[in-house]
Amino acid sequence: MEVIQFLADGFASALRWHNLLFALVGVLIGTAVGVLPGIGPMSGVALLIPVTSTMTGGLGPEEAATSAIILLAGVYYGAMYGGSTTSILLNTPGESSSVVTTLDGYQMAKQGRAGAALSISAIGSFVAGIIALIALVLVAEPLSNVAVKFGPAEYFSLMLLGLAAVSGLAGKSMTKALMMTVFGLLLATIGMDNVSGVARFTYGLAVLYSGLEFLTIAVGLFALGEVFKTIIGREYAVGTIARVGRILPTRQDLKDSAGPIARGSLLGFFIGVLPGAGATLASFFSYIMEKKISKNPQKFGTGAIEGVAAPESANNAASGGAMIPLLTLGIPGSGTTAILMGALIMYNVQPGPLLFDEHPEVVWGLIASMFIGNLMLLVLNMPLVKLFAKIIETPPKYLLPIIVAISVFGVYAVQYSTFDLMLLIACGIAGYFLAKNDFPLAPLVLGLVLGPMIENNMRRALTGSDGDFSIFVAKPISAVFLIAAALWLVVPLLLKLRGKKVLINEEG
Amino acid sequence: MQRAKFRWTWGIVVTVVALLLSACGSGGNNASNNQAAAGGEKAANAPANAAEKPAEETATAASGYPEKPIVVVAPSGAGGGWDKTARALTKVLAETKLVGQTMTVENKPGGGGAVFMAEYATQETKNPYKLFVSSPPILINNLKKEGNSPFGYKDSTPLAQLTKDFGAIVVGADSPYSDIKALLADMKADPKKLTVAGGSAPGSMDHLIAVLPAYKFGIDPKAVKYVSYDGGGEAVAALLGGNADVIATDVSSVAEYLKAGKVKVLAVTSAERLGGDVKDVPTLKESGVDAEFTIWRGVFGPKEMKENELVYWQQTLTALNDTPEWKAELQANAWESEFKGSEDFIAFLGEQEVLIKDLLTALGMAK
């Protein structure tokens, strides 16, 4: 009952006109930040901290903190909504968490279903946001206690499960998918090792010390690769411009998406709660899961609406989930929440186990404003879909240079280094040849994300156990993940063997 | 129809370009990496420099610096000591209007600060718009054998020491240990029994804080089971979740968890007892372990700073140290003030370097 009282107070605070305005400004900026490649949610939030401190200058300390955090959180989840737009329309992921959306989203856009893809991702994001918030209100405290129990061994096994599930991203050939995964893992080892601080494969080049930037590689492989393919394949000459069909998803679309949205929201939320896992993994995992349980897995990658709905819900739910360790323990679960935490500290609100007790008005005001902000985003995004979807009606001769420009600007705005531009072009060329020869690109990107996490957590776990590998099976949660990973690999093989036998019998 | 379409297309192009330009400008403010700053510097500063030359010696305010937003880098993930110092610094400098330009904090985690130093000391030697906060690791990384950072404080311009903090040996609230001696006695009996975690790599500061009492207690420091996490925040999470038995961190990071009753602080590494939330915690010396470790924190600039830039920061940081806002900030974070200007700071760093080299040699970890 106490919770309801606090929440009511929170709504009272969030519904004040200036806080509504702050939420609106936040989600508007967030949407822009999400749509534009280059400035992701992290830099968008960091950028606005000094602006908000000026804007809230006239308010009392607690009120100023509430208003500022409402605006900044608005940017955060606004960016999660907007992040899918360029992925779907231009095959250019704006944020790492929307890389996987390109797989089906872009295919849908090519078939003239951009409107449906965009609106389902807005609807999915909304549902996920609300589910994550309800969970935040109800189970924040107990869940955060479970989340910190997640140790290196559990992380390692979870990541391994993710890696085993990479088959879900395979195209025609499993071998090629595995090759790409290993290649991604290899690329991930470049840079300064976080466990021992030793430089690996850097050849003394300072630009390599912090490793290869994930977004550069993803944008190069997906966006530039596609551009090269269009140019070399002379597809632009055909003159068929993708038409924007209906904007709203059909009844069948909604029916197909309901399950993926619900599952993606839950999965994304739980992954988001784990400090350090993040929205990118959530989106990959939910996509793989949907493909695995789908009755028609072969339609993924060719424009399945489930392949857009699930990851877009998951990355939004993960951003809600990431608020839990931040608000209850003062432990930021992602880069963006780390910056939000910095903003709170700036207002003398110290996130930590005492936050709910010491500053209830700030926390509950924020939670209430997130409900309102999500609603605003849905209302805001549906009309925008119509506008954005028209972008792909642009003839290729104008569209292709725009994609190249966006990719180059976006990468440069994040990294400020010409090395990354070279890498971008190299990845674009690699992306073209790989895609041409049926090497799937997504496993490479997943390997790149998972590599450092797998390695660091494995080494941490093994240090803790004195090099004893049994720690991975001794911990129950870890063991469950490992068994799931093993089944994931073995069951299809068994089924295949059986299938062959059946076939042989028939032939015999 | 064709015509209308054409115009419409250009509308899109123009919009996209405008958006991109604005994205570029704002991205520059925030992330402010070297290229934009260094590349833009020539164009932006050339006329300004010509105008300001005569005034350069007399007043820093007239020199024009800083004329762009400033980034203060915390070479770790958020939530740790560096991060908090950087955020407190930028906050007070902005509040008191000592620095008129926007100041933002950037986190550059990895290698216990070595990742950032490698980049900073090679690519940002002339970028006066990027400062960073550091502490003993800048010395340690440069001195240790494994994971050596070829760059140390001599590859930067030490601007000022701001605070001192102390190490803390922390266990969970439900830990069976409530004094450091019992913990060390058990660790001596079987070092494998206890997992010690910290926010940075072996051979770095958290590790030194963790093994220093053990070493002085007569435990082989190499036998201590030390697990490194990405920053103090993750290490605390490991402690709260029972994935570590004890963590070594700094006093200021742990105060909030102590107040909430989530952890017990067994000892602090100061010479005398500290005040505030940790006033009941004994020092290592009180507990009979002859060890002391001071975590100083300071602000550094790039190696090649112009005279006027150096003077600017000298004056600004000295002024900062006298403001009531900064004092209040120090108190809120349980930091002790310890201000040293650039010259004193450089001399102090020289002494500390000798001290840490001795310690690392004793541990068999020196370069």
Instruction: For residue B53, count CB atoms less than 10 angstroms from its CB and return exposed for 0-12, middle for 13-18, buried for 19 or more.
Output: exposed
Residue A241 contacts B, CB cutoff 8 Å: no
- Residue A114 forms contact with B (CB below 8 Å): no
Instruction: Report residue B326 as tokens.
Output: 């900064």
Contact A196/B at CB under 8 A: yes
Q: Which residue has the tokens 């541990």?
A: B363
Q: Of all helices (H) and strands (E), which one includes residue B72? A: strand B70-74
> In whole angstroms, what separates CA B364 from the centre of its chain?
26
Assign A66 a pLDDT band (cuts: 50, 70, 90): confident
- CA-based nearest residue in chain B for residue A352: B256
CB B169 within 8 A of CB B246: yes
Closest by Cβ to A192, choosing from B13, B27, B114: B114
8 A C-beta contact, residue A368 and residue A11 = yes
In the DSSP assignment, the letter for residue B258 is H
Shortest CA distance to A285 belongs to which of A488, A78, A494? A488
Instruction: Using a pLDDT cut of 90, give the percent of chain B over it.
Output: 22
Does the pLDDT value for residue A1 go beyond 70? no
Which three-class secondary structure string do you get for A382-394? HHHHHHHHHHHHC
Contact assessment for residue B255 and residue B278, using Cβ atoms and an 8 Å cutoff: yes
Q: Which residues of B touch A53 (CB under 8 A)?
A: 94
Nearest to A43 among B30, B228, B238 (CB): B30
Mean pLDDT of chain B: 78
Residue B319 has pLDDT above 70, yes or no: yes
Ranges A379-393, B148-162, B289-303: which has the least confidence: A379-393
Q: What is the pLDDT of residue A151?
A: 85
Q: Where are the domains of chain A?
A: 2-507
- DSSP run (H or E) holding B169: strand B156-172
Contact B240 A192 (CB under 8 A): no
Residue B5's pLDDT is 45
User: Are the CB atoms for B49 and A434 separated by under 8 Å?
Assistant: no
d(CA B72, CA B102): 11
Taking one residue from A and the other from B, the number of pairs with CB-CB distance under 8 angstroms is: 199
CA geometry: angle A17, A20, A21, nearest 5 deg: 90
What's the gap in Å between the CA of B110 and the closest CA on chain A? 5
Mention every residue, 6+ apart, whose C-beta is less than 8 A from residue A448: A184, A185, A187, A188, A212, A214, A217
Q: Which CATH superfamily is domain B47-165+295-362 in?
A: Bordetella uptake gene, domain 1 (3.40.190.150)
Q: Do B115 and A210 touch (CB under 8 A)?
A: yes
Whole-angstrom CA distances from A474 to A303, A468, A469, A470, B235 are 42, 10, 9, 6, 22
State how far Cα A65 lies from the chain centre: 28
The distance of B154 to chain A (nearest Cα, Å) reads 18
pLDDT (0 to 100) of residue B26: 38
Q: How far apart are CA A466 and CA A460, in angstroms?
A: 10
> Is residue A391 within 8 angstroms of chain B, CB to CB?
yes
- CA distance linking residue B31 with residue B28, whole number of Å: 6
| CB count in 10 Å sphere of residue B121 | 19
Q: Do B110 and A192 touch (CB under 8 A)?
A: yes
Closest Cβ opposite residue A152 in set B20, B114, B243: B243
Helix (H, G, I), strand (E, B) or coil at A131: helix
Q: Distance from B62 to chain A by nearest Cα, in Å?
A: 25
Q: What is the 3-state secondary structure (H, E, C) of B39-72?
A: HHHHHHHHHHHHHHHHHCCCCCHHHCCCCCCEEE
- B interface test, pick of A29, A33, A35, A36 with most B CB neighbours within 10 Å: A36
Contacts of B234 in chain A (CB under 8 A): 275-276, 331
What pLDDT does A261 receive? 94
Q: Which of residues 74-113 of A touch B (CB under 8 A)?
A: none
Q: Which of A50, A352, A394 sits opposite B12 (nearest CB)?
A: A394
Q: Is residue A427 within 8 Å of A58, Cβ to Cβ?
A: no
Q: What is the pLDDT of residues A170-216, one digit of tens each?
A: 767 778 888 998 999 999 998 877 676 677 887 866 667 778 888 88
Question: Among A49, A352, A405, whose Cβ lies nearest the Cβ of B256?
Answer: A352
Alpha-carbon distance A245 to A256, whole Å? 18
The whole-number average pLDDT for the span B168-192 is: 91
Note whether B259 contacts A43, CB cutoff 8 Å: no
Q: State pLDDT tens for residues B8-62.
A: 445 454 444 444 444 443 333 333 333 333 333 333 333 333 333 333 333 444 4
Q: Using CA coordinates, name the residue in chain A closest to B203.
A: A196
Helical (H) or strand (E) element with B360: helix B342-363
Would you call A10 an interface residue with chain B, using a CB distance cutoff of 8 Å?
no
Q: What angle do CA B97, B99, B105 make, to 5 degrees?
A: 110
> Measured between beta carbons, which residues in chain B are less than 8 angstroms from residue A322?
none
**pLDDT score of A243:** 61
Instruction: Note whether A389 and A114 are within 8 A (CB).
Output: yes
Q: How many CB atoms lie within 10 A of CB B358?
A: 12
pLDDT given at position B50: 38
Of B87, B123, B243, the CB nearest to A151: B243
ipTM value for the complex: 0.76
Would B47-165+295-362 and B166-294 be classified into the same CATH topology?
yes
| C-beta separation of A181 from A443 below 8 A | yes
| A36 contacts on B by Cβ (under 8 Å) | 19-20, 23
The token pair that represents A119 in the structure block: 């609106």
pLDDT in tens, A433-484: 998 998 988 889 888 888 888 888 898 898 888 888 888 988 888 999 899 8
For residue A268, what pLDDT is reported?
92
CB B31 to CB A395 under 8 A? Answer: no
Cβ atoms of B303 and B155 within 8 Å: the answer is: yes
Range of lowest pLDDT (A101-110, A167-176, A353-362, A381-390): A167-176
Per residue in B297-307, pLDDT tens? 999 999 988 88
Contact residues on chain B for A345, CB-CB shorter than 8 A = 84, 87-88, 91
> Where are chain B's structural domains?
47-165+295-362, 166-294
Indicate the length of chain A as a whole number.
508
Burial class, B259, CB count within 10 angstroms (exposed 0-12 / middle 13-18 / buried 19+): middle
- Shortest CA distance to B86 belongs to which of B112, B104, B66, B113? B104
Distance from CA of B243 to the nearest CA of A (A): 6
Q: How far apart are CA B208 and CA B310, in angstroms?
A: 32
pTM of the predicted protein model: 0.76
How confident is the model at residue B146, as a pLDDT? 63
Residue A495's Cβ-count burial label (10 Å; 0-12, 13-18, 19+) is exposed
Is B103 close to A152, i.e. CB distance below 8 A?
no
Structure tokens at B8: 């419409």
Q: Are B268 and B167 in contact (CB under 8 A)?
A: yes
What was the pLDDT predicted at B266? 94
Residues in chain B with CB shorter than 8 Å from the CB of A209 are 111, 115, 118-119
Please give the mean pLDDT across all residues of chain A. Answer: 83
Please count the CA atoms within 13 angstroms of the CA of A103 that sit on its side-chain side.
Answer: 33
Which of A334, A463, A477 is most worth mutating to test chain B (most B CB atoms within 10 A of its CB)?
A463
Among A36, A199, A338, the residue with its CB nearest the CB of B78 is A338
| Count of helices and strands (H, E) across chain A | 23, 2
Range with the lowest mean pLDDT among A229-243, A329-343, B31-45?
Answer: B31-45
pLDDT at residue number A262: 93
Q: Is A147 on the interface with B (CB under 8 A)?
A: yes
pLDDT reading at A223 higher than 60: yes
Which residues on B lie below 8 Å from A213 (Cβ)?
A: none
At which residue do the structure tokens 């963006």 appear? A336
Q: How far apart are CA A362 and CA A340, in angstroms?
A: 13
Amino acid identity, position B91: K
Shortest Cα distance from B47 to chain A (angstroms)?
A: 24
Give dist(CA A392, CA A387) in Å, integer. 10
Model pLDDT, residue B186: 92
Contact (Cβ atoms closer than 8 angstroms) between residue B66 and residue B156: no
Q: How many other CB atoms are there within 10 angstroms of residue B343's CB atom?
A: 10
User: How confident is the model at residue A187, as a pLDDT?
Assistant: 93
Residue A38 predicted with pLDDT over 70: no
Q: Nearest residue on chain B to A353, judged by CA atoms?
A: B260
Nearest to A194 among B35, B111, B192 (CB): B111
Structural Rg of chain B based on CA atoms: 23
Say if the Cβ atoms of A354 and B20 lie within 8 Å: no
Report the 10 Å Cβ neighbour count for B267: 25
Is the pLDDT score of B354 beyond 60?
yes
Separation of alpha carbons B66 and B130, rounded Å: 11
Residue B239 has pLDDT above 50, yes or no: yes
Considering only CA atoms, which of B258, B263, B267 is closest in space to residue B285? B267
List CB contacts (< 8 A) between B80 and chain A: none
Does A332 sit within 8 Å of B27, measured CB to CB? no
Distance CA B95, CA B103 (A): 11
- CATH of region B166-294: 3.40.190.10
Q: What is the DSSP letter of B323?
A: S
Nearest Cβ partner for A394 among B9, B87, B234: B9
Q: Cα separation of A166 and A168, whole Å? A: 5
The alpha-carbon gap from A213 to the nearest alpha carbon of chain B, in Å, equals 13
3-state DSSP of B194-224: CEEEECCCCCCHHHHHHHHHHHHCCCCHHHC
What is the signed CA dihedral for B347, B352, B353, B355, rounded to 10 degrees?
140
How much is the pLDDT for B110? Answer: 60
Q: How far is B158 from chain A (nearest CA, A)?
A: 22
Residue A217 pLDDT more than 60? yes
**pLDDT tens readout for residues B70-120:** 999 988 765 567 877 888 899 889 888 888 888 888 877 665 677 788 788
Cβ distance A329 to B240 less than 8 Å, yes or no, reads: yes
Measured between alpha carbons, how far is A122 from A347 in angstroms, rounded to an integer? 32
Render pLDDT for A90-133 as a digit per residue (tens, 0 to 9). Answer: 888 877 788 889 989 988 888 888 888 988 999 999 999 999 99
Please give the residue of chain B at the shortest CA–CA distance from A346: B91
Average pLDDT over residues B241-259: 86
| Residues of chain B contacting A331 with CB distance shorter than 8 Å | 79, 233-234, 236-237
**Mean per-residue pLDDT, B352-357:** 83
Q: Which residues contact A498 (CB under 8 A, 6 or more apart)?
A: none
Mark residue A76 as left, alpha or beta (left: phi above 0; alpha: psi -120 to 50; beta: remaining): alpha
Residues composing chain B? 367
User: Distance, in angstroms, between B260 CA and closest chain A CA?
Assistant: 6
Q: Do A194 and B27 touch (CB under 8 A)?
A: no
Structure tokens given for A81: 């909504």
- B125, B227, B236, B365, best to mutate vs chain A, most A CBs in 10 Å: B227
Cβ <8 Å between B202 and A339: no
Verify whether the Cβ–Cβ distance B87 to A342 is below 8 Å: yes
Tell me if A412 sits within 8 A of A420, measured CB to CB: yes
* Assigned token pair, A442: 């997504």
Q: Would you give the end-to-end CA distance of chain A in angstroms?
A: 70
Amino acid symbol at B273: R
